[in-house]
Amino acid sequence: MDTLVLHGGRPLSGRIAVSGAKNAALPAMAAALLCPGEHRLRRVPRLADVATLSRLLAHMGVAIERGSGRRGGELRLVSPAACRPEAPYDLVKTMRASVLVLGPLLARQGRARVSLPGGCAIGARPIDQHLKALAALGADIRLAHGYVEAEAPPGGLRGAHVPFDVPTVTGTENVLMAASLARGRTVLTNAAREPEVEDLARALISMGARISGAGGDVIEIEGVEGLNPLAHEVIPDRIEAGTLLVAAAATGGEVTLDGARPDQLEALIDKLREAGSRVEEIDGALWLRSPARASAVAVRTAPYPGFPTDMQAQVMALAAVAEGSSVIEETVFENRFMHALELRRMGADITVTGRTAIVRGVRKLSGAPVMATDLRASASLVVAGLAAEGRTVVQRVYHLDRGYDRLERKLRSLGARIRRVAAG
């Protein structure tokens, strides 16, 4: 297993382009199951999760090719006339987002057999809302031997009112895709409002779907008989952008991010300003300059447009070196503070009680060997390592590789001393 070796204490400085969003690329890839033909996706990041979903789609009969050279961000997906509607455990277990194939398979093939997902160890993460919604569209759903077995009624799925009990990102995306090919009209209420949901809606609309309201909590879908292949450019990754901004703030640095969308990062930018950074949009890029030491912040995660749970771990690393006491409350997932223990091994002063962490900032963290426990926790350890004195070795980097496109190269180009040591 690869490790990352960092020598901290140097402010990040420079300019860099943000990659495509993992959480927008994955549902757009799944959308290729909705109709046969040649689909094209641009700005697809190079990530382990993208490779995993590619393998899963290939298992279903989709041929996938990545462009080379300057077209390296382009994915060409050729969907067959009929897909094999099965997602086996071995391919699904490492990535919860695999569940995104359920809606499209059911809509197009009339049936699907999808293993119950694995993914990050950050709480129970059920898929009851996905299943309830697909059942409302008429699907017959059974759970057997660790698999979801779903079948559409004769004549196919039919539109319905789908009230979500909790706003779920991939749940909303699954139903958006399924309802696009259902008979009649579907209305989703309490839908997730994340920019990635809106990006998927845009992709589906370009395929001929009739969707309105995406980005809000009520979405209407008028089913159509068939869709055309996809040609779509994925939005930039707001979490990668956010991670780089936080890393700059934690090191007292100054960075400019090309492609970052300030309108999709408002909650984070607010907190970075509260921590003393200047953040501006300059000529279509996002610029941040941090004071030598950040100030404490109060953060409460919430569904979009609230503060993203996917930035909570990184902000905790920032709070660990900020002046004063920060309060961080996690309301989206119930077990997402594993990084706190590792940060403490680097000298952070953090007390966790239930879903709240109190972080008393220290002047300096000290480098240490640490272990990544999930995707965003790994990013938090990298941020901490950049801010720490001495050498930090982050183990289990495969978690980081699930969701960041060559993060160490990007950080190196911003002046960080970080290198990957390959296993073996």
Q: Would you please indicate which residues are annotated as catalytic (active-site) residues? A: 120
Cα separation, 274 vs 293, in Å, equals 12
Neighbouring C-beta atoms of residue 35, cutoff 10 Å:
20
Q: How far is the CB of 204 from ligand UD1 (least distance, A)?
A: 16
Sign of CA pseudo-dihedral 391, 394, 395, 397 = negative
Closest CB to ligand UD1 among 200 and 244?
200
Neighbouring C-beta atoms of residue 347, cutoff 10 Å:
18
Considering the rule CB under 6 A, would residue 128 count as an interface residue with ligand UD1?
yes
List the one residue from 19, 170, 256, 264 that touches ligand UD1 (CB under 6 A).
170
Closest CB to ligand UD1 among 287 and 337?
337
Closest CB to ligand UD1 among 10 and 55?
55
HEC secondary structure over 55-71: HHHHHCCCEEEECCHHH
Using CB under 6 A as the criterion, what x/- string covers residues 173-192 for binding ligand UD1?
Answer: -------------------x
Considering the rule CB under 6 A, would residue 98 count as an interface residue with ligand UD1?
no
Considering the rule CB under 6 A, would residue 32 count as an interface residue with ligand UD1?
no
Considering the rule CB under 6 A, would residue 96 count as an interface residue with ligand UD1?
yes
Are 150 and 116 spatial neighbours (Cβ–Cβ below 8 Å)?
no
Considering the rule CB under 6 A, would residue 166 count as an interface residue with ligand UD1?
yes
List the one residue from 11, 104, 156, 171 that touches ligand UD1 (CB under 6 A).
171
Q: How far is the CB of 202 from ligand UD1 (least distance, A)?
A: 16
List the one residue from 6, 8, 11, 23 that touches ligand UD1 (CB under 6 A).
23
Task: Tell me the Cα Rg of the chain.
Answer: 21
> What is the arrangement of strands in the sheet containing 218-222, beginning at the earlier edge strand?
161-163, 185-189, 218-222, 210-212
Considering the rule CB under 6 A, would residue 65 count as an interface residue with ligand UD1?
no
Q: How far is the CB of 195 from ligand UD1 (least distance, A)?
A: 11
What is the rounded end-to-end Cα distance, in angstroms, of the chain? 7
Considering the rule CB under 6 A, would residue 52 count as an interface residue with ligand UD1?
no
Q: How far is the CB of 276 from ligand UD1 (least distance, A)?
A: 27
Cα separation, 209 vs 222, in Å, equals 8
Using CB under 6 A as the criterion, what x/- string covers residues 299-338 for binding ligand UD1?
Answer: ----------xx---------------------xx-----
* Interacting positions 331-360 with ligand UD1 (CB under 6 A): 332-333
DSSP assignment of 63-118? EEEE--GGGTT-EEEEE-SS---EE-HHHHTT-GGGGGGHHHHHHHHSEEEEEPP-
Are 343 and 384 spatial neighbours (Cβ–Cβ below 8 Å)?
yes
Interacting residue ranges for ligand UD1, rule: CB under 6 A = 23, 26, 96-97, 123-130, 166, 168-171, 192, 196, 309-310, 332-333
